[in-house]
Chains A and B, each alone.
Chain A
Amino acid sequence: MRRELLMPKLGLTMAEGVMTEWLLVPGAAFKAGDSIFIIESEKAAVEVPADADGVLLEIIAQPGETVPVGTPIGWWDDTRAGDESPASSPPAPSAAPRIDSSPAPTAAHAPEAATGERVIATPLARRLAQQRGVDLRTLRGSGPRGRIRAADVPTMDAEPAAAASRAAAPEGSLRKPTAIESKIAQRLVAAKQQIPHFYLSSEVEVSALVSLRSEINAAQSGVRLTLNDFLVAAVGRALVDMPQYNRVWTDDGFLGLPTADVGMAVNTERGLMVAVLRDAGRLPVSEVSRGAKALIERARTGRLGSADMAGGAITVSNAGMHDVTAMSSIINPGQAMILGVGSVRDLFRPDAAGAPALRREITLVLSADHRVLDGVSAAEFLKRIREHLARPLGLLVA
């Protein structure tokens, strides 16, 4: 029976989505769970799987089109016999791929107009671009849902994109990246190329922290604080102490952020994502822990909202569980810093008398955007994080 395929609602606030790519052509059969198409909401690109077997009949929404939630984007056949005439009964809203499918948001913060997509721009921006010889597809929109506004059109000719040199076809098997992999790749390249990274590393003595955590976890059943909770809390406190570093670089200047938000890199099946804990700097570690667990759970089940991923000047990326000594990370685009955290290691260090003393240490590597911080300010900030970790009792209270 011919049935409508509707634009799914992937989050509470999602009102419309952009059709990014059809993964099937009309006539292709699919099984439940197969991805049929990719849509992009404000913050994320999502592969949408089918919840039943069927055949794709017809495509209504073309790639690049913005479509309100619940609007037909295509037709499919459920391969079951039935009334062929849909006129008598309106299509059931469930006649769509399941709408609670796991979205796999990329870490996208700013929608980009990739080549081939329909460009969303205001009439004035279109006219200015035409007058100034600017290709709208090279611009980033600052308006709602990434719409290009007049202010986004540069007054001079846009620089032509550097033509990539094409190498001869390589040996080996070639797999085309998925839309999400492409998006992540683009953003990583852009971040590493455009953000002038520099790195400071430092070892922190964490015996007090480790034993405090064990004590708390032993004393209260049901409570399980992680080292990561303390790290997020310490970074948040440092931002509250030094609000001058709670800022990011934007095209329009330095953007000071109002609250001490801290991002957490979360590894999910669909790739690495950053979930941002609001106002982490003003919360006791117990609240940080609660908030972080909820965010991580949402990230792993693909239920992070766009607001959960936006903002923050810094992310904590913890590789401690993977027996890594030190990790230098790439800054999450839109932020100014990322703190790479290594494993806890037992080491002998000379004490005051020169005798070997056992210490527990972790290595922190702070990657910082040199446009926003210089070496001294980054060192100062890192030192403040270390101080909070060295005196963990203070993190227990708000």
Chain B
Amino acid sequence: MSTPSNNFDVLVLGGGPGGYVAALRASQLGLKTALVERERLGGICLNWGCIPTKALLHGADLLRMLRQAGDYGIQVSEPRTDLAAMIARSRSVANRLSGGIALLLKKARVQVFAGEAQFASGAQVRVAMADGSMQSLQARHTIIATGARARALPELPFDGKNVWSYRDALSAQRLPPSLLIVGAGAIGLEFASFYAALGTRVTVLEAQPRVLPGSDADVSAFVEKTMTRDGVAFRTGSTLVRAEQTPSGLRATVRGPSGDEAIEAEHMLVAIGLVGNTETLGLGNTRVEADRGLIEVNDWGETKHPGIHAIGDVVGLPMLAHKAMHQGLVVAERIAGQHRTGPAPHPAIPACTYGHPQTAGIGMSEEDAKAQGRTLRVGRFPLEGNGKAVAVGEAAGFVKTLFDSGTGELLGAHIVGSEATEMIQGFAVAMGLESTEAELMATVFPHPTISEAMHESVLAAYGRALHI
């Protein structure tokens, strides 16, 4: 039964970063808002992605620091690790933050339905509630924010034992002696970094010729070199031919540039991409169009069905929480009557990885820019030339900037090394404000900080670097 209390201005399907942010913003703008979540508030990001992996990776960083403590005149005995305790902390962080989202939504008077939503006939939203009941919800606007999940290899479905998804890698109770990771994107590399730091023998397989295929090639090369030195074995330009169970795990046959190779590992983590969560939504009862799990939307997040919008991973690349949040804000604001004129805001979306070394990039890679026929000025500044980086013993890495040589437009920026992920927003702000090299050069960066390397990189693009 539909009751007046089940009548909303905005109904959000999915409580991940895109969904809950859209709901909070809609509510701020005075719209009566509800949100449906089938699992846990915060979505994959908060429960099984961004946040718990950062909790683990910080542990790996701490371990690395303890091992280098002698360099700083601090003698410590060889640290011992307890994976189960690290996992437990990571889970408690996720739980605490998920509870925080529930409070935020409550404070914003967003009504949360714990259950799974589906479009029934006539595009009517019905929710199979966690308590077994059914609810019909009415809304003038529906925002689909159901996210994505790990894509499995067709012949090797996730089994939670030998074939892992990121969820298994985030909840292991015992350190595997060996791990084969399929896919050298952000997820694959972060787990490679974590498990290798703890002592697992890690091999990473990547079909593309380089790791982090979406990044600038200089970044990929630097990361591959650093991680190889830290004990990770890479097989790029290589594909998995088959894998079979053995008493001790799996034996994989890998085909690379130099022929076939057998790799044995106790576990295999499959990180070959994500697939949108659309199949249980009942989209057939709407005019929403989806292609291979991804919902088609215009610049404003509008689907082909008037009043139904979609944001985040479920609308495609880049599948990043902050992109979903941005889209959530734009869609909520447009529903409330803002942004009625002019083009949809489309700021550059930064992309970060948090292994060792950290990487952060925004805008075009050098290859992309050249492919667009741009003539470039490229600045590159190594962290060896940065006083703060040397002082704290984090002098590995660089900042690379790309400018259009004709107009001085900042086309892209790429950072590798300590604090890369915290610094990239400086370039994001500059790009958003359409700064040219002149404004960046005229900006005073505080000394001593690693961020000075950003300034030097801009200067270097114009032959004016000072500390190199």
Contacts A258-B300, A258-B302, A258-B334 hold; do A124 and B436 have CB atoms under 8 A apart?
Answer: yes
Whether A149 contacts B340 in the complex (CB less than 8 A), given A123-B439, A131-B407, A256-B302, comes out as no
Cβ of A276 within 8 Å of any chain B Cβ, yes or no, is: yes
**Chain A: minimal CB distance from B395 (Å):** 32
- Tell me the nearest residue of chain A to B334, going by C-beta: A258
Within 8 A of A (CB), among B275-311: 298, 300, 302, 306-307, 309
* A307-B338 CB under 8 A given contacts A123-B438, A124-B436, A252-B343: yes
Q: Is the CB of B341 within 8 A of A310?
A: yes
Q: Point out the residues of chain A lying under 8 angstroms from B309, CB to CB.
A: 258
A102 to chain B minimum Cβ distance, whole angstroms, is 23
Indicate whether A127 reaches chain B with its CB closer than 8 angstroms: yes
Bound-state Cα–Cα, A63 to B336, Å: 33
With contacts A123-B438, A124-B409 taken as known, whether A257 is within 8 angstroms of B340 at the C-beta atoms is yes
Interface size class of A (residues with CB under 8 A): 20 to 34
Known pairs A243-B306, A250-B342, A258-B300; A278 contacts B337 (CB<8 A): yes
**In the bound complex, CA of A259 to CA of B339 (Å):** 13
Query: Given A122-B434, A243-B306, A259-B140, are A311 and B439 also a contact pair (CB < 8 Å)?
Result: no
Q: Which of A110, A122, A261, A312 has the most CB of B within 10 A?
A: A122
Q: Binary interface profile of A, 243-258, with partner B (CB < 8 Å = 1, else 0)?
A: 1000000101001111
Of chain B, the residue at the smallest CB distance from A307 is B337
Given the contacts A109-B341, A259-B335, A307-B336, A279 and B434 also touching, CB distance less than 8 Å: no
Question: Which chain B residues lie closer than 8 Å to A311 at the CB level?
Answer: 337, 340-341
Contact status of A279 and B140, CB under 8 A, knowing A122-B434, A128-B407: yes
When the two chains form their complex, are residues A124 and B337 in contact, meaning their CB atoms are under 8 A apart? Answer: no
Whether, in the assembled complex, B435 has its beta carbon less than 8 Å from a beta carbon of chain A, the answer is: yes
Residues of A within 8 A of B342 (CB): 110, 142, 250
A124-B408 contact given A150-B434, A256-B302, CB 8 Å threshold: yes
Minimum Cβ distance to chain A for residue B207 (Å): 36
User: Smallest CB-CB separation from B343: which chain A residue?
Assistant: A252
B434 near A250 with CB under 8 A, answer no
Whether B337 contacts A142 by the Cβ 8 Å rule is no
| B444 within 8 A of partner (CB) | no
Interface code A126-163, partner B: CB below 8 Å = 1, 0 otherwise? 01100100000000001000000111000000000000
Tell me the minimal C-beta distance from A12 to chain B in angstroms: 11
B371 within 8 A of A: no
A258 and B335 contact, Cβ closer than 8 Å, known pairs A122-B434, A149-B434, A150-B434: yes
Q: Is the CB of B409 within 8 A of A276?
A: no
Q: Give Cα A259–Cα B142 distance, bound, in whole angstroms.
A: 12
Q: Decide yes or no whether A392 CB sits under 8 A from chain B.
A: no
Complex CA–CA separation, A128 to B407 (angstroms): 7
B89 within 8 A of A: no
Whether A125 sits at the interface, judged by CB under 8 Å, is yes
In the complex, whether A320 has a CB less than 8 A from a CB of chain B is no
B336 to chain A: closest residue by CB: A307
A282 at the interface (CB under 8 A from B): yes
B337 in complex: contacting residue of A109, A252, A310, CB < 8 Å = A310
B60-87 vs A, Cβ < 8 Å mask (1 yes, 0 no) = 0000000000000000000000000000
A334 interfacial contact with B, CB 8 Å = yes
Within the complex, the shortest CB–CB distance from B401 to chain A, in Å, comes to 15
Bound-state CA distance A12–B438 (Å) is 36
* Neighbouring A residues of B434 by C-beta, 8 Å: 122-125, 149-150
Of B141, B341, B406, B433, the most chain A CB neighbours within 10 A belong to B341
Interface residues of A in 43-93 (CB under 8 A from B): none
Complex CA–CA separation, A2 to B369 (angstroms): 58
The minimal Cβ–Cβ distance linking A120 to chain B, given in whole angstroms, is 12
CA separation between A334 and B342, bound complex, in Å? 10
Tell me, in angstroms, the Cα distance from A250 to B340 when the chains sit together. 10
Residue of B337, B338, B433, B436 near A127 (CB, 8 A) is: B436
List the B side residues contacting A258 at CB < 8 Å.
141, 300, 302, 306-307, 309, 334-335
B436 touches A282 (CB 8 A): no
Q: Is the CB of B335 within 8 A of A127?
A: no
When C-beta atoms are compared, the residue in chain B nearest to A124 turns out to be B434
Please give, as numbers and ranges, the residues of chain A lying within 8 Å of B302 by CB-CB distance: 256, 258
The complex places the Cα of A128 from the Cα of B334 at a distance, in Å, of 30
Closest chain B residue to A246, Cβ basis: B306
**Residue pair B436, A123 in contact (C-beta under 8 Å):** yes
Given A127-B407, A256-B302, do A276 and B343 touch, yes or no (CB 8 Å)? no
Measured CB to CB, the nearest residue on chain A to B337 is: A307
CB pair B340–A310 under 8 Å, yes or no, is: yes
CB proximity of A264 to chain B, nearest CB, Å = 15
Complexed CA–CA distance, A213 and B59 (Å): 72
Residue of A nearest to B333 (CB): A307
Q: Please encode chain A, from 333 to 346, with 1 for each CB lying within 8 Å of some chain B CB and 0 for all others.
A: 01000000000000
**CB-defined contacts of A307 to chain B, threshold 8 Å:** 336-338
Q: Across the interface, do B140 and A261 meet the contact criterion of CB distance under 8 Å?
A: no
Interface centre among A109, A142, A259, by most chain B C-beta atoms within 10 angstroms, is: A259
- Point out the residue from A150, A255, A312, A334 that lies within 8 Å of B409, measured CB to CB: A150
Q: Which residue of B lies closest to A121 (CB)?
A: B434
Query: Which residue of the partner chain A has the closest CB to B302?
Result: A258
Residues of chain B within 8 A (CB-CB) of A123 are 433-436, 438-439
Give the residues from 254 to 311 in chain A that come closer than 8 angstroms, CB to CB, to chain B. 255-259, 261, 276, 278-279, 282, 307, 310-311
The residues of A that contact B307 with a CB separation of less than 8 Å are 258-259
Give Cα distance in the complex from A256 to B302, angstroms. Answer: 10
A312 to B140, CA, bound (A): 16
Please name all residues of chain B whose beta carbon is closer than 8 Å to the beta carbon of A142 when the two chains form the complex: 342-343
With a CB–CB cut-off of 8 A, which chain B residues contact A110? 341-342
**For B337, what are the chain A residues with a Cβ–Cβ distance below 8 Å?**
259, 261, 276, 278, 307, 310-311
**Distance between A193 CB and nearest chain B CB, rounded to angstroms:** 19
| Chain B residues with CB below 8 A from A124, complex form | 407-409, 434-436
Query: Which residues from chain A contact B406 at a C-beta distance below 8 Å?
Result: 131
Bound-complex Cα distance A312 to B341 (A):
10
Q: How far is the CA of A195 from the CA of B433 in the complex (A)?
A: 32
How far does the Cβ of B412 sit from chain A's closest Cβ, in whole Å? 14
A146 CB to closest chain B CB, in angstroms? 10
Query: In the assembled complex, how far is the CB of residue A152 from the closest CB belonging to chain B, in whole angstroms?
Result: 10
Closest A residue, CB atoms, query B335: A258
A-B contact pairs, 8 of them (CB 8 A): A124-B436, A128-B407, A131-B407, A252-B343, A256-B298, A258-B302, A258-B307, A261-B337
* 3 pairs of A and B residues whose beta carbons are closest in the complex: A311-B340, A122-B434, A124-B434
Known contacts A123-B434, A278-B337; 15 additional CB pairs below 8 A are: A110-B342, A122-B433, A123-B439, A127-B407, A131-B406, A142-B342, A150-B409, A151-B343, A258-B302, A258-B309, A258-B334, A276-B337, A311-B340, A311-B341, A334-B341
